[in-house]
Structure 1
């Protein structure tokens, strides 16, 4: 393993040590995890995921465009229409709100819109799915070669989805379903079905990030190939990824 020497101010070192102590890991391990997070970025938990808050103000050009769209939609909706677009009167009411600048009613423009799932978090979901795809292919390939992957290990390496009760993980779970609508990640569908259709009922993102960090270490340590088999994992590598699920502070007891 390569060595990296860095110099920091003493107060920075003390802050890092305090953070490491709070996590129950060594200073070296904490700094190494932070470095790995620059390769495998941590998710952004700052945003509150749910309905988008109504804007307190809008630019005049945005109000003009939205008002025009509402008036157009109000003219083309079939008579008696009452679906998600409402009816003509609903659309003309929205246009009036925007034109008159009734900011307290702007919530109508964002009702049903969710907070954005950042590109980093979208990429995180895709990376996690790709890792579990390779894990699944690897287990199947080992079985064909007569290498037994015990049931406990196979179950530990199943994609259990995300916690639907957590705002961020719930948003990620919906993104997983969206990605699977066009038959992507089909090999993972049975795993989601076995895990309450992708509701893990416990927070999983931090666990997946630890697994992903170990998966990246494995992939970074091998020569890039052109065959699909070059990306498959050995039984020992599968165990390493499964072991990464355990928080560092508990590994000595595991």
Structure 2
């Protein structure tokens, strides 16, 4: 099963205006990671439309890097001392002068078809809505069974949606000296730009999703929703 490494940079509260991460540096390192299949670099943007499900009090990510691997082995290798993720963290932390606080999480990927999917290998910049369930379901099996059965079919109907992925946590080894995030689940829905995202959030499909959200099995904790500007890097390797 495909796995995805999330490296997440949050604003350090002591510094109100953190420096941006060097995108070109991240791209260069990513292209040389053994076993890496594709990557996405996200930077935070202001929401183009108020979202009634957003959590304004949640810790907002300023920068998120996603690395996709075919399985767990190469992903864990990238996380060890001397691996690609270690290089990214060393250079990024130094460049931002501790103005960002970082976390890591390796997750299993579930990818769902969308009617207007982007072309494979199409280099592009998109607008991504990243969702995080940071708490705990009272019965995770019941939660995930309901979620995967009912929610993705609704999400795939959002107007203009290009990609839809759902991630669940896995146990993994790491050599990074940054905290391990414990999000129960993450989601990613992708649109062409903030205007397309705003239209999707205002669509009738969103109201249907809210009805299903209210029917979820019991869950305790925040559900954060953040719009991000996304730069894609597809690596076609044999």
Same fold (TM over 0.5): no
Bigger CA radius of gyration: 1
Q: Please give the range of the TM-score, normalised by the shorter of the 2 chains.
A: under 0.3
TM-score by length of 2: 0.27
Q: Which has the higher helix share?
A: 1
TM-score by length of 1: 0.26
